Structure 1
Amino acid sequence: MKLYISATGITRLAASRGGAGGVFRRMKSSKRRLSHRTIRLLAGLLLPFLFVRSALLLLESAALCSSPIASGCLTWRFFGGSDAALEIYMIFSLCLQLSALIMPKKLREELMRALLEATDGGGVGTVDGSNSEPVSFKDLVKDMSLNRQDLKAFAFKTKSMIAKMEHIVKTAQWHESMYWHLAAHSVPKGLHCLSLEMAEEYAVNAAARSRFPLPQYILRLTDPSFHHVVLLTDNILAASVVISSTLKTSSNPDKLVFHVVTDKKTYTSMHAWFSVNTVDSVVVEVKGLHQYDWPHEVNVAVKEMLEIHHQIGNHNFRSLKENLEYGNGNHHKLDVFSPSSISLLNHLRIYLPELFPDLNKVVFLDHDVVVQRDISSLWDLNLNQKAVAAVVDSWCGTDCCPGRKYNDYFNFTNPIISSLLDKNRCGWLYGVNVFDLQRWRNSNITAVYHQWLKLSLNSGFELWHPGVLPPALLAFENHVHAIDPSWHIAGLGHRYPRLDEHMLETAAVVHFSGPAKPWLEIGSSEVRDLWTRHINSSNHHIRKCGIAS
């Protein structure tokens, strides 16, 4: 709505010398009366619409935040409230209070009465499905002008219109967030091309099939004096970036030994890549799951674990689907779409002692990390008789971990969880971990993990939110040694990562945890540069698949 004030008819008075004082007094009085009437008119017209526009701003600002887990959410709220109806009521009430000196008492009381009547019975938030209400601010103004309705009708129509808009925004916000999570499952054309290229290389090039590491380096694979790094991944490019960034920042790269575990489908491509892209004196071992010869009881336990995880995923998906059309689902349940929740390799990290029976201490790195600082001192850490070292607190201080409280992982309405855990406790991070495999073998960590999986199965899968970490938090209870937060900065894979430049520059490892992996195009280009700079753009296969561009 645009309000125009015309200057037509306003007479310019020229004061004469003799009568200047009288004319000036008349002009001053006239201007004062005109200003007073104008202010009243403007207040009567604009204050109701200020209420509507404020409500619309609240709804529009909500659309900027597609998920509450997005740490850089740009939403804002008046008065720090959480209920839209209460906030709108307070805004309108403030407008009326500010207009107390310039608005007639009768009009002010009528506006307040209409507002109270409209907000009785729950205020904004009820959608009756009727199509008679205006659908936009412009339509509301037009409807009020044509039908000459009173303030009570205005208040009720405004309430209904805002309720509909709020419902539309929430539903669209929910759908958009769901589609964004689904995009994390996509395989970019360049990565698919690279996998096929390396599979072909394995088939036609004898060098790509050659055994590595070289015979003179074989003993390093189990030598405890070397620094052993473990990756579980089926992503060739991601593994390459992790290894490349670790070598570039290491003060003693010759002491590093990388163990890459992949699935049978990716094994030939992964093997070919590291066969033809060797680095002198750097030991890389690539092993497929099909090459392990585990005891029968381990195979049975792994199969049982994967079956329960599969059932958990199906249950969460059905639950999400039921609430999808109404937009009232829990955003934590969107993690059911996360590839990490259904990845075989991600779940197998609980079997690291069985994967590496000849090793006692390893550093585990997720495939979506970038190493920015020498991590050699991690192998010298004293774990104080704990099985794992991990970041617990964030940069903001002790017991400060936004989005990582136990309440964000577990369902505290369940009596089993609420009786055992503190919902305000911080959960530790997967992604950069030091594992004492010998102490792990001497504990019951893996057995406790399986016990919790079975308990989740028997309780209807209502103990925790989707994800790999919750059951691990339970299994490693009292087995975690906290390390300095500067070792590991996580969350770069969320929609709006709130990270300052100093944190990114000083962190030893940055982790693209979240749906927006750096090899996808759904994340922030600013943080993706931290990852893409480690891609070897001169590599023939990288150029051929268009990854460098």
Structure 2
Amino acid sequence: MQWIIRFSGFVSATLVMIVLAPSLQSFHPAEAIRSHIHIDGQLRFPAAIPHRSSYRRASTFRNAAGCEPVRNSGDVCDPSLVHVALTLDLDYLRGSIAAVHSILQHSSCPESVFFHFLVSDTSLKTLVGSTFPKLKFRVHYFDPEIVRRLISTSVRQALEQPLNYARNYLAEILEPCVRRVIYLDSDLVVVDDVAKLWNTSLEQKTIGAPEYCHANFTKYFTAGFWSNPVYSSVFSDRNPCYFNTGVMVIDLVKWREFGYTKRIEKWMEVQKLDRIYDLGSLPPFLLVFAGHVAPIDHGWNQHGLGGDNVVGSCRDLHPGPVSLLHWSGSGKPWLRLDSKQPCPLDVLWAPYDLHRSWSSSWST
């Protein structure tokens, strides 16, 4: 109930904002990845990162009464843990920190949440540890060269970054004892208990996500794809629906068993030879999984708040419950807030922002 009270307050603040704001390599990646991933290692060329003092230290979040005791504190293989994976890079660091903060704040058992950060610069580990001193987490280095040769141009340059494709390799990156993981993008906040998402039934499917069957599925692929019967026949025996890959629950056991990383890579190889889509890392997931996704309530991905991939226009919430707010699209809330040109709903992201450049009055 506490988050509902906060949310009501944020909505009131939103109305104020509406008034005040303006109109407002030679190896095969799947086979070679184990030898190219270094967990908690050191990079050969560490990039300059924000000083740890750039972020305020978060409060310490403790488990509520009734939480299952964490059996082996800090042990990634503890079966009582909820595993959450996010990418962590300089461009989206502020968003990732806010996402973690939101998860901890709304979790009934925050000490039972284990975070996996996929990075191309492990020096970010120090900043995370200083911002969340009691956080259970591990940093996993993802070598950009593993996927670089497979990446094609996209409608937005940010979608071409190798780290966007790290989610394809979670089954290889995470420890074999991790059987399930929640993957989340870095431009969202969770306003409900993440354990609810964790406990979602996947109905024998490999992944679960909110589906949007009313969306025009054909637009995610080129005319050349649909006119080629070899390509388009991949959907002939299923009823595909669009889903956003920024929020997924993944059964890693099934993923490993059926080799889905290689299946995704094969479609990326097709794309390099014969352009069949224009939009980053999403279409290969649709090609492999659309029509075979366990449906999750739409409240767990109120996406599109960042506008489309070209214009970061303001968007409203979709009808229905809200468990997760997702600024997918080109408009990011921290950039719009800093520029003094926020969209009305950006005020709902601001309380989770721990960056010192933003007014401490927004901290929760």
Same fold (TM over 0.5): yes
Residue ranges of structure 1 left out of the alignment (5+ in a row): 1-73, 75-193, 202-215, 291-301, 314-334, 394-398, 537-541
The aligned residue for residue 307 of structure 1 is 149
**Counterpart check, 1:195 vs 2:49:** yes
Contact 1:236–1:273 under 8 Å retained in 2: no
The aligned residue for residue 77 of structure 2 is 222
Determine the C-alpha separation between the residues in 1 that align with 2:250 and 2:171: 9
Q: 2:258 aligns with which of 443, 454, 459?
A: 443
Contact 2:300–2:323 under 8 Å retained in 1: yes
The alignment-based identity, stated in percent, is 27
The aligned residue for residue 299 of structure 1 is none
1:241 Cα deviation (Å)? 0.5
SS in 1 for 2:167: helix
Determine the C-alpha separation between the residues in 2 that align with 1:511 and 1:241: 12
Determine the C-alpha separation between the residues in 2 that align with 1:386 and 1:364: 16
Query: For residues 21-36 of structure 1, what are the structure 2 equivalents within 5 Å?
Result: none
> Residues 379 and 451 (structure 1 numbering): CA distance in 2 closer, same or farther, change over 3 Å?
same
**Counterpart check, 1:251 vs 2:251:** no
**Counterpart check, 1:286 vs 2:99:** no
Determine the C-alpha separation between the residues in 1 that align with 2:350 and 2:146: 38
1:285 Cα deviation (Å)? 2.4
The aligned residue for residue 45 of structure 2 is none
Determine the C-alpha separation between the residues in 2 that align with 1:304 and 1:252: 36
Determine the C-alpha separation between the residues in 2 that align with 1:304 and 1:500: 37
1:469 Cα deviation (Å)? 0.2
Query: For residues 237-248 of structure 1, what are the structure 2 equivalents within 5 Å?
Result: 237-248=94-105
Contact 2:208–2:249 under 8 Å retained in 1: yes
The aligned residue for residue 380 of structure 1 is 199
The aligned residue for residue 176 of structure 1 is none
Q: Deviations over 1:527-546 (max 9, x none)?
A: 2111111123xxxxx43xx3
Query: For residues 451-466 of structure 1, what are the structure 2 equivalents within 5 Å?
Result: 451-459=266-274, 461=275, 463-466=276-279
Q: 2:302 aligns with which of 486, 489, 494?
A: 489
> Residues 217 and 450 (structure 1 numbering): CA distance in 2 closer, same or farther, change over 3 Å?
same
**Counterpart check, 1:427 vs 2:238:** no
Contact 2:84–2:183 under 8 Å retained in 1: yes
Determine the C-alpha separation between the residues in 2 that align with 1:488 and 1:525: 18
> Residues 226 and 304 (structure 1 numbering): CA distance in 2 closer, same or farther, change over 3 Å?
closer
Q: Which structure would you say has the larger RCO, counting Cα contacts within 8 Å and 6 or more residues apart?
A: 2
> Residues 284 and 482 (structure 1 numbering): CA distance in 2 closer, same or farther, change over 3 Å?
same
**TM-score, reference length from structure 2:** 0.70
Determine the C-alpha separation between the residues in 1 that align with 2:54 and 2:109: 34
**TM-score, reference length from structure 1:** 0.48
The aligned residue for residue 364 of structure 1 is 183
Contact 1:232–1:262 under 8 Å retained in 2: yes
- 2:296 maps to amino acid: I
Determine the C-alpha separation between the residues in 2 that align with 1:375 and 1:455: 36
1:478 Cα deviation (Å)? 4.9
Determine the C-alpha separation between the residues in 1 that align with 2:240 and 2:292: 15
Give the structure with the higher percent strand: 2
Determine the C-alpha separation between the residues in 2 that align with 1:418 and 1:288: 36
Determine the C-alpha separation between the residues in 1 that align with 2:125 and 2:204: 36
Determine the C-alpha separation between the residues in 2 that align with 1:507 and 1:384: 23
Determine the C-alpha separation between the residues in 1 that align with 2:53 and 2:172: 28
1:400 Cα deviation (Å)? 2.0
1:286 Cα deviation (Å)? 2.8
1:258 Cα deviation (Å)? 1.2
Contact 1:406–1:424 under 8 Å retained in 2: no
Q: Deviations over 1:365-409 (max 9, x none)?
A: 11111101112122222211111100102xxxxx323xxx32221
Q: Deviations over 1:392-431 (max 9, x none)?
A: 02xxxxx323xxx322210134323444447995311111
**Counterpart check, 1:400 vs 2:214:** yes
Give the structure with the higher percent helix: 1
Determine the C-alpha separation between the residues in 2 that align with 1:366 and 1:533: 18
Contact 2:150–2:268 under 8 Å retained in 1: yes
SS in 2 for 1:381: coil
Contact 2:140–2:173 under 8 Å retained in 1: no
Determine the C-alpha separation between the residues in 2 that align with 1:488 and 1:251: 20
The aligned residue for residue 511 of structure 1 is 326
1:488 Cα deviation (Å)? 1.0
Q: 2:164 aligns with which of 346, 370, 386?
A: 346
Determine the C-alpha separation between the residues in 1 that align with 2:180 and 2:201: 11
Q: Provide the alpha-carbon RMSD of the alignment.
A: 2.9
Determine the C-alpha separation between the residues in 2 that align with 1:391 and 1:433: 8
Contact 2:313–2:331 under 8 Å retained in 1: no
- 1:306 maps to amino acid: R
Mark the structure with the bigger radius of gyration.
1
Determine the C-alpha separation between the residues in 2 that align with 1:480 and 1:447: 18
Query: For residues 202-217 of structure 1, what are the structure 2 equivalents within 5 Å?
Result: 217=73
Contact 1:464–1:470 under 8 Å retained in 2: yes
Query: For residues 469-548 of structure 1, what are the structure 2 equivalents within 5 Å?
Result: 469-494=282-307, 495-500=312-317, 503=320, 506-521=321-336, 524-536=342-354, 542-543=355-356, 546-548=357-359
**Counterpart check, 1:260 vs 2:117:** yes
1:466 Cα deviation (Å)? 2.6
**Counterpart check, 1:273 vs 2:127:** yes
The aligned residue for residue 169 of structure 1 is none
Q: Deviations over 1:119-178 (max 9, x none)?
A: xxxxxxxxxxxxxxxxxxxxxxxxxxxxxxxxxxxxxxxxxxxxxxxxxxxxxxxxxxxx
Determine the C-alpha separation between the residues in 2 that align with 1:200 and 1:529: 21
